[in-house]
Amino acid sequence: MSGGVDSSVSTALLKNQGYDVTGVFIKVWQPYSAEAPKGRPFECTWKQDRLDAMRVCARLDIPFFTLNLEKEYKKEVVDYMIREYKVGKTPNPDVMCNKYVKFGGFFDWAMKQGADFVATGHYTRIAEKCGLNADQRGKNKKYQLLAGDDKNKDQSYFLWTLTQKQLSKTLFPVGDIEKPEVRKLAEKFGLSTAVKKDSQGLCFIGKIDIKDFLKNYIKEKKGKVLDENEKVIGEHDGAFYLTIGQRHGFKITEKTPNDLPYYIINKNIKNNTITVSQDSKKIIENNSKIIVLNNINWISGQAPDLSKKYSARIRYRQPLEECKIIEKSAGKFELHFTKSQKAITSGQSAVIYDKEVCLGGGIIN
């Protein structure tokens, strides 16, 4: 329970369905700024979030626990982010948070406590598939991860690392409900989180400025801003802080009265330079029909039928794009898209679908 409305309603629904429910708030490592007075956090919301979760549990008359996973979060989410940014990649911390914290440390702890299932407020669904023959019914079950019914809130993109074992022990109570209805249910159940705003930003921590955060771990390194003719027109504090397509975080010193916004269209980590253009269509890094994937995970436990066409997205909320999956060697896969993909970003996740079924994904190399 994060203290938000989605996990609150999930809890109430499960109790109403007859489950013996225990609420668990996960306490994670918090970012402290060396520049802030007395090490004040960037945004300290966890105490209020924990209190909100406790209030919901009190309202529903169920037990409440706080699970400390600070070490796991620091190692698998924060340290991972810093490593990736240092080499010029743009990681997705929410994916790692789900893998190592919610479905890592929390899942393992819950199973050791004797839980039959864990549940979260993710907008996604699970389907069971059994053997085809009558004598196999109920045996050799396979579990599929499906997109949430609310397409504006679908979170399957962040859950491509899940396994059959995890899916078999997981419930997503609001996956087939649209967000407005979730808020109505929260009011119906008398939950204090009914009108609480959705959290934004880094998983469990909230909204922080990534550059301000990284400055505490990666030393600033002044670099040049180049135009498309390689003329120096500005400066920045480090190419590793910046992302392709970004239109802020650097200073243009060679300005004209009619200047339009500049977009980062390329970056060179070795030379610590970025190239900018006023035409976002000229983003040149990794425009391609082919994407190489690392750390691939197939949710079913094996690769799908490679003779078929599928669809994939290379960033959250991007419309699905048609592609084929190509196995280059054992365990090494590429996505070959029908249309060229723009602003492909190393370190982000490419997630693959067969209609509404999330097949798995990998890290873009």
Instruction: List helix spans (H) across the chain.
Output: 5-16, 46-60, 70-73, 79-86, 93-97, 107-112, 164-168, 179-188, 210-214
Instruction: List helix spans (H) across 61-106.
Output: 70-73, 79-86, 93-97
Task: Compute how many other C-beta atoms are within 10 angstroms of the C-beta atom of residue 293.
Answer: 22
The CATH code that applies to domain 5-121+173-211 is: 3.40.50.620
Q: What number is the average pLDDT over the span 7-20?
A: 98
What is the model's pLDDT at position 259? 80
What is the model's pLDDT at position 134? 41
Q: Which of 21-30, 77-86, 164-173, 275-284 has the lowest mean pLDDT?
A: 275-284
Pick among 2.30.30.280, 1.10.260.40, 3.30.720.110, 3.40.225.10: CATH of 219-282? 2.30.30.280
If you average pLDDT over every residue of the chain, what do you get? 90
Q: Which residues are catalytic?
A: 97, 203
What global pTM score does this model have? 0.88
Task: Compute how many other C-beta atoms are within 10 angstroms of the C-beta atom of residue 234.
Answer: 18
Q: What number is the average pLDDT over the span 311-324?
A: 96
Q: How far is CA 175 from CA 153, 219, 329, in A?
A: 9, 42, 36
Q: State the greatest distance between any 2 C-alpha atoms of the chain, in Å, as a whole number.
A: 77
Pick among 2.60.40.10, 2.40.30.10, 3.90.1150.10, 2.40.128.130: CATH of 288-364? 2.40.30.10
Cα(4)–Cα(144) distance, integer angstroms: 26
Q: What number is the average pLDDT over the span 243-267?
A: 87
User: What is the residue extent of each domain of the chain?
Assistant: 5-121+173-211, 219-282, 288-364
| pLDDT band at residue 201 using 50, 70 and 90 as cut-offs | low
Task: Compute how many other C-beta atoms are within 10 angstroms of the C-beta atom of residue 308.
Answer: 9
Q: What number is the average pLDDT over the span 62-81?
A: 95
